[in-house]
Amino acid sequence: MLRFLNQCSRGRGAWLLLAFTAFVLEMVALYFQHVMMLKPCVMCIYERCALFGVMGAGIVGAIAPKTPLRFAALLIWLYSAVEGLRLSYEHTMIQLHPNPFVTCDFAARFPSWLPLNQWFPGIFVASGDCAEKQWSFLTLGMPQWLIVVFGVFLLIALLVLLAQFFKPKRRDLFTR
């Protein structure tokens, strides 16, 4: 399996699948926000940024998958998945154990050189409360589902990283 993952990481298809998966999740988030009228909180915006990081990793990996750029994409993927998992866990704890002393900010804080909330307000402006449970599916709230999503992203990223130490199988037409 690790040899197969190594082989996949050297092709564009797997990286584009990663980017597409994150893109679909972003579109679902925007559907929830603009069609279902759910208000994203600051933690939701930060989790959204982590998903954009995973999508960016897929795009970087698809640019030149057979070069060392693949390792940069893998590092972006790992970092984004870890941060997304951390943020989702923190958000879940805020919802499961509401406390007036543990709350999230009123507005997302982006660096001055990257004011995403000013450039793309329809995507990065927070207007909800982190402790409010606005949506659930199969008894799990949105941040709990994001723990699952980022956990899967992290597990696959770790397997792909481990697979980099195994040479891919060489498939010839006449050898088995």
Active-site residues, by number, are 41, 44, 48, 104, 130
Closest CA to 147 of 109, 103, 104, 95: 95
Radius of gyration of the chain, Cα coordinates, nearest whole angstrom? 18
Question: How many CB atoms sit inside 10 A of residue 145's CB?
Answer: 17
